[in-house]
Chain A
Amino acid sequence: MKTKALWLQGVSCNGNSHSFLNYEGLRELLSKVEFLYHPLLPSRLRIEDLADFTEDIDILVIEGAIKKEGFLRGKKEFFRLFQKLKKKAKYIVAVGNCASFGGVFKEYEADLTGVGYSKGEKIADFENLINVPGCPAHPEWIGSVLSLLCEGCEPELDELSRPAEIYSYTVHAGCLRNEYFEWKVDSATFGSKEGCLFYQQGCQAPYTGGNCNKILWNGVSSKTRAGMPCIGCTEPGFPSRDLFKTKTYMGIPARMPKGVPKRAYLTLTGVAKSFKIDRLNNPLMPKGPGCEKEES
């Protein structure tokens, strides 16, 4: 028998639903899981059917922030549906930053929360909650967690109820700009293959959990690889302010790489900066003439 799942949206942008559609194993997963309701995929139930729905389900997927009042799904208060369904579910999987911690729309409505957390603060004691934050969550994070649960396995969770296997890595790990970080060569400008984005452009990868640079996005790249700073979307503090500038105190980054004492970091920085590595201060590759253009 197929695993019974139900995908319910709180206050959301649909981003996780769409991210999930990019999951390479979608076809295989849907042969194991039936979504009784999903906001995009065909499903047995319509949204209004959830009002009278009483069956037990294996996995309740929540996308979007939890709003307690004045927010309808179908013709019913979302929160009532949520309260009912969470009791029926063996597991609750909160996908995206909104469902995990409150997310971006919490900036407007402060009383929005995640399923079990409000920012980093625990607000409910769920034993069966798995947070899969991200804005959006990587399709593979959603897909492989669901498929794991289908097979009766549970991922090990970290202190924010996130699968440790995904979020113990920092986004920094595997970034193509690691050498520039090591030698403290900053990227003076956007639009360049060279330089690290941690010193000026606000990159949060060294203290943001996520294996983005291990498994890559859409199978091809990542934000930092494409020269865009990590904006910390898997963490409870997302979205912070001034996302494209590094906050510094007298030139020293205000936040250290995860787990690195300031003294250790500064010692290493001072030493690394004392050397000028030519290779890292020159363009990575010649910008050749490219292809022959047709006469226009």
Chain B
Amino acid sequence: MRVDILQKIEGEAFLRYRFKKGRIEHVKIEFPHYRGVEEIMRGRPAEDAVAIAPRVCGICGHSHLIAAAEALENAAGVTPPLKARYIRNVTLGCELIQNHIKWLYLVILPLLKRMGFREVPFFEAIDKSATAGKIIAIFGGQYPHTSYAVLGGVCSDPTLLEIQKAKLFAKEIEDFFHSEVMEEIERFSEFKDSRGILKEIYIFLKHKELLDIGRAHDRFLNLREGTKILGLKRVSAKLRYVSTAPSGIGYAKNALYKGKYFEVGPLARRIHTPFVKDLHRRYKDGLFTRIAARVYEIKILLSQLKETLKKIEPQGDSFVKTDSLAEGTGEAVVEAPRGSLIHRVKIKKGKIERYEIITPTQFNLSNGTSLNPGPAQKAVIGLRDRSEAELVFRSFDICSVCTTH
């Protein structure tokens, strides 16, 4: 048994490898320490959920915020005004953008460097991820950890000039992305003649024959959209079939859909775009497809960001007042940086009686058995090199702090 510490992800995880004839036969993933966020929620006034939820995670707390606000709205039977929904889409999208940029430059590239890739300075990238935070701050006051999304809408009422400023910031990120990370292309056929970090990673991994390692179950979930994807076939998926089960190790629970392990995240969300589809045809749900899907998602998010910013009309309402939320149950699913994130809440006499959070990493890093492994476990079976296995793990963009909320 070899125990590695997966670090400089969001928090840490222990990887307990079992080798057979020099190859990984099985790996147990242990997330240490439970912080009790669901317990902290219990007994608090329902409205407090939006203040506590972001504290689950420093990098995707905004997704937890939106999930909490929507779970309360679901319980109250309230639909926030259109303008509030647009604004939430803007800030949520920006959280994904800053996450993906940081993941590429701080989680993936340093490991690739250890494997022989060139040194890539990260300051400009970090600066651009901070720019995404500026857009969130225009609407939400600050990033990380605002609680500007509340039951019934958002707190802010942005002016036209503020929206203009957000557009300017979006353009800055876009310019950086297209000049440094990947050119504006739609298909893999164009990729070969393009330039950027992603292309370099492609060449590097191709040279090392690592493009298609790390294949998982080729089963995906996009719960916000309400679909599961099996062999590229999209069928409807319902939240009620999501369940959790003890993982038998550490504090994290496994997350399953109808009793099976599924992959969530950018690959699940973008598998039907021409670019990712092309890659999937070649490399299946392997390492490069997974990495490229997350990078390519930045491009999609940036163009959605521009479109949504145009739709925010100053004259609309940001908030609709609800009678105090006394009783009810609600659930919500948000596509967070790492995939489908579920919040469930039960409210009694205005207080939170039960709160449940199921995070994307619980899906992707479920601890199965060697016969029925979780997605990431499956993806490293058969590998000889622990650095390669680590790279595969990192391609899932693991959040330990979320998982041990």
Contact = CB atoms under 8 A, between A and B. Distances in A.
A and B touch in the complex (CB under 8 A): yes
A200 B110 CA distance: 49
Interface of A: 9, 11-19, 21-22, 24, 26-27, 39-42, 46-48, 70-75, 104-105, 107-109, 135-136, 189-193, 212, 217-228, 231, 233, 239, 241-245, 285, 287-291
Q: Chain A at the B interface: mostly helix, strand, loop or mixed?
A: loop
B375 interface: no
A104 to B, nearest CB: 5
A19 B141 contact: no
Contacts of B58: 12-19, 136
B146 interface: yes
B183 interface: no
B383 to A, nearest CB: 21
Contacts of A41: 106
Given A218-B136, A290-B314, A189 B321 contact: yes
B84 interface: yes
A47 B3 CA distance: 14
A15 to B, nearest CB: 3
Given A21-B130, A22-B143, A290-B315, A191 B157 contact: yes
Given A14-B59, A109-B36, A285-B159, A218 B314 contact: no
B12 interface: yes
Interface of B: 3, 5, 7-8, 10-12, 32-33, 35-37, 39-40, 44-45, 47-48, 50-52, 55-59, 61, 84, 102, 106, 110, 122-123, 126-127, 129-130, 133-134, 136-148, 150, 152-157, 159-160, 165, 310, 313-315, 317-319, 321, 401
A222 B148 CA distance: 11
A254 to B, nearest CB: 15
B142 A221 contact: yes
Contacts of A14: 10-11, 57-59, 401
A241 to B, nearest CB: 6
A26 B123 CA distance: 8
A219 B143 CA distance: 11
Contacts of B123: 26-27
A32 to B, nearest CB: 14
Contacts of B315: 287-290
B33 A11 contact: yes
